[in-house]
Structure 1
Amino acid sequence: MKNPTVDLANIPLAGDRAWLTPIELGVLAAIWGASFLFMRIAAKDFGALALVEIRLGLGSLILLPFLWRERAKFTGALWLKLAIIGAINSAVPFALFAWSAQRAPAGIGAITNSMAVLFTALVAFLFYGEKIGLRRTVALFAGFAGVVVLASSKTAGASVGGAVAAGTTAAFLYGIGANLVKKHLTGLPPAAVAAATLLCSALVVAPFAIAYWPTQTIPPRSWFAAGMLGVFCTGIAYALYYRLIQRVGAGRAVTVTYLVPLFAVAWAWLLLGEPLTLPMLIAGALILGSVALSQRAAASGAR
């Protein structure tokens, strides 16, 4: 999943379309929640780098029409920034989550992914001089407490600390990427920016993916999961998300963050038989509660 912090002006929602927003939020959360399921299925056969290359390539192809339509706005000098931001905001986090999926249940990655909202606020405070306020400070500590609980837990007797560290690092990179997008890419069409960063990331990852491409036969189940990850969970999901932002604003669209772990755990339990453990429940409550508190603080002026 991409960090859902995009600096766009709120666009009022017409009363006769109000019913559509919760439906789209639910669909988007279900799709992004399924991304952790698909990574869990495919990563063990493809490996992290090959799987990420498929995801980036298919996702960029789906979004390519948005980039083509706005191609005049993407000058030569801009592409270096797009490549750097794409690596920080897509290539490396995707690889970290895929690596995590090889070692821990799908819910672990989804829960750590939610820290991206808190890390976005932290990076803005540390490097861009934005106020953080008491509520967001409390939210950050609560979120980190959730990470500690999750990292210290075990699944089927095995430690998931490495997977938690990878997912948390990916979320931190999302926080950096969101601030870089806000600083350097504001004013450009968001869907076209997503297409450009995914395309650049695919090109950057390609040599590594080729070098580590699996030599064994990939089962159809994993090919299907990889295709769904790229087409639906990246390309179509990004298009749906940016459409949602343009209609209701980033502040309302970001609430999808609360739903993604719920769907991820539900999909993994339903289709893979992965349990919801007590540490996952406690960590999820701490992290999602901290995200909710952080968003409330942002809405009230970061008090």
Structure 2
Amino acid sequence: MTPWRLTGWVSVAMLAFAGNSLLCRMALKHTSIDPTSFTLGRLVSGAIMLLVVVRLKRGVVTPANNGNWWSAAALFAYAAGFSFAYVSMTAATGALLLFGAVQATMIGFGLIQGERLRLSQVAGFALALVGLVVLMLPGLATPSMLGSMSMLGAGVAWGAYSLRGKLLQSRGASNPTLMTAGNFARTVPMALVLSLLLWPHLAWDSAGLAYAVVSGALASGLGYAIWYQALPALKATQAATVQLSVPVIAALGGVVFLGERLTLPMLLASAAILGGITLVILEKK
């Protein structure tokens, strides 16, 4: 893959990941759709898009033989927590909390497995945690505690999903796109069960459903397929570092499309989070 083509794939993937935050926030803020319905629409459309991608690439559709239920459960927990969190927070705040929780989960797992951090990495990890605490202080970005916990839980779930994906690949699992298609397909019955449990609270309209479909089919399904296309050409540190751009893109998109404000305290907290994580990532062997 040429450097220009790789840059293009990575750029599109990062825009897609940030787009999930913007689309979810737009839907919950400007339409009558509820978080459960958005989650269902996103997962169903994502599953369909990935089936199309797999069929075009391989000529067969065999999602049932790929992925597994534990990974699908983590994926569903991420998608549901993500949607419920965005009821009460800005796109930028949600992306930062999500990203911080994902990285903390993966770094923490490495420590449990015996990895050791250098002094600069410890300082970076502490700096990122301070940034997360400051970000959640009252009056800064005003996320509710329930919403914050929901987004942090979504981040932990996504971190667990990523770790399981790496583990399964190391054991000779099928290619990531096919595995993701299988996992998305398995999340659909979970989302249907959640919808039945919260049936009295369901609400949606055509605009909200359109946001969910775009989020699932393009920003999630196609975005993940593009990311997995570029991932083999990236070093681990490059892959981790480039994702630092996602909260920044989400913040800028929130200002442009949602009229959100970026205050100086929030910018400082964001710099602490992203800078701290960068110190940890760039020092990893």
* TM-score using structure 1 length: 0.81
Q: Report the alpha carbon displacement of residue 48 of structure 1 after superposing the two structures with TM.
A: 1.9
Q: Provide, for residues 260-301 of structure 1, a one-character-per-residue CA deviation record: whole Å limited to 9, x for no partner.
A: 111111111111101112332122111111221122111xx2
Structure 1 residues 136, 209: closer, same or farther in 2, change over 3 A? farther
2: CA distance between counterparts of 1:249 and 1:65? 28
Separation in 1, partners of 2:181, 2:223: 12
Deviation of residue 38 (structure 1)? 0.9
Deviation at 1:226, TM superposition (A): 1.2
Q: Which consecutive unaligned segments of at least 5 residues does structure 1 have?
A: 1-12
- For residues 101-116 of structure 1, the aligned pairs below 5 Å read 101-115=86-100, 116=102
Q: Does 1:175 align with 2:162?
A: no
Q: Which deviates the most, 284-293 or 26-35?
A: 26-35
What is the deviation of 1:242?
A: 0.3
| Closer, same or farther: CA 48–72 of 1 in aligned 2, 3 Å | closer
CA–CA distance in 2 between the matches of 1:287 and 1:216? 35
**Residue 71 of structure 2 contacts residue 183 of structure 2 at CA under 8 Å; is this kept in 1?**
yes
Structure 1 residues 15-30: aligned runs within 5 Å: 17-30=2-15
Which of 145, 150, 153 is the equivalent residue of 1:161? 145
**Cα distance in 1 between the residues matched to 2:128 and 2:247:** 14
* 2:79 equivalent in structure 1: 94
Q: 1:138 aligns with which of 120, 123, 130?
A: 123
Aligned partner (choices 46, 52, 69) of residue 33 of structure 2: 46
| Aligned mates of 1:163, 1:119 — CA distance in 2 | 19
Whether the 8 Å CA contact 2:37–2:204 is kept in 1: the answer is no
1:211-260 superposed Cα distances (whole Å, 9 cap, x missing partner): 43577763433222112111111011001100111333444333331111
Checking the alignment, whether the CA contact within 8 Å between 1:103 and 1:160 is kept in structure 2 is: yes
User: Which residue of structure 2 aligns with residue 9 of structure 1?
Assistant: none
Mapped contact 2:38–2:208 kept (Cα < 8 A) = no
Residue 215 to residue 49, structure 1, CA distance change in 2 (3 Å): closer
Q: Which whole-Å CA distance do the structure 2 matches of 1:223 and 1:18 have between them? A: 37
Structure 2 counterpart of 1:229, which letter?
A: S
SS at match of 1:46: coil
- CA distance in 2 between partners of 1:180 and 1:240 (Å): 20
Distance 1:159 1:288, change over 3 A: closer
Q: In the alignment, residue 172 of structure 1 is paired with which amino acid?
A: V
Q: Is the 8 A contact 1:146 1:283 kept in 2?
A: yes
User: AA paired with 2:260?
Assistant: E
- Which sections of structure 2, spanning at least 5 residues, go unmatched? none
TM-aligned CA deviation for residue 73 of structure 1: 9.7
Q: Distance in 2 between matches of 1:237 and 1:28?
A: 5
Q: Which residue does 2:222 correspond to in 1?
A: 236
Map of 2:43 onto structure 1: 56
> What is the number of equivalent residue pairs in this alignment?
277
> In 1, Cα distance between the equivalents of 2:273 and 2:215?
25
Give the CA deviation at 1:59: 0.8
- Separation (CA, whole Å) in 2 of partners of 1:91 and 1:279: 33
Stretches of 4+ aligned residues off by more than 6 angstroms: 70-74, 214-217
When residues 136 and 276 of structure 1 are mapped into structure 2, their CA distance, relative to the original with a 3 A threshold, is same
Paired with 2:186 and 2:41, the residues of 1 have a C-alpha distance of: 13
1:1-303 equivalent positions in 2, closer than 5 A? 17-43=2-28, 45-65=32-52, 69=58, 75=65, 82-88=68-74, 90-115=75-100, 116-126=102-112, 128-154=113-139, 158-186=142-170, 187=172, 188-213=174-199, 218-298=204-284, 301=285
Going from structure 1 to structure 2, the CA distance change for 1:92 and 1:208 (only over 3 Å counts) comes to: same
Preserved contact between residue 41 and residue 209 of structure 2 (Cα < 8 Å): no
Whole-angstrom CA distance in 2 between matches of 1:167 and 1:192 = 27
Superposed displacement of residue 172, structure 1: 1.9
| C-alpha contact (below 8 Å) 2:195/2:202 kept by paired residues | no
Distance 2:143 2:9 in 1: 36
Please give the TM-score of this superposition, normalised by the length of structure 2: 0.86
Conservation of the 8 A alpha-carbon contact between 2:33 and 2:204: yes
Distance 2:201 2:152 in 1: 30
Change (3 A) 1:215 1:146: closer
Structure 2 CA distance, aligned partners of 1:73 and 1:224? 25
Any idea what SS the aligned residue of 1:103 has? coil
Worse overlay, 181-190 or 199-208 = 181-190
* Aligned-residue offset at 1:148: 0.3
